[in-house]
Amino acid sequence: MERHPQKSAHMINGTSVTSISPRLAPAWRAVERATPVPLRTIRSKSAYAATVRFMNSLIDVVGDNERHELANLLDFVGNLVRDYETRRERLPAPSRRQTADFLADQRTAYRIRTPASTRGGRRKSR
């Protein structure tokens, strides 16, 4: 695990990490026992599928209530899923034809949205 530079390696917001670790470790173990999936980086497709199922069940409980007591857990689990998808789920490269079609569409959309006088290029003489 990479360590990030900070003023003091053992102080966070004026609190010593070593002073809270005896209380934090048992609490973390209790959280891990209470959840159906490990709350750590997803490393396999099966762990991904299980974590997505857990996330969906949290969504069913939390809904869109940002003040729900499990909203932060849902946010954390959602970040685990997003990180896995970002690392693993690569989009296929488009073909040359698809790229050309996309660029042509963008150029057409630009011309439709942008008045000729602001596009740059040559201006007609008066």
Tens digits of residue pLDDT in 7-21: 545 777 777 777 777
CA gap 28, 19 in Å, rounded: 15
Per-residue model confidence (pLDDT) at position 60: 96
Best CA proximity match to 84, nearest among 34, 50, 126, 119: 50
Classified as helix, coil or strand, 11 is strand
Q: Which two tokens stand for residue 11?
A: 């102080």
Question: Which of 5-19, 59-73, 105-119 has the largest mean confidence?
Answer: 59-73
- Indicate if the pLDDT at residue 29 is higher than 80: yes
pLDDT digits (tens, 9 = 90+) for 83-110: 999 888 677 888 999 988 888 888 877 7
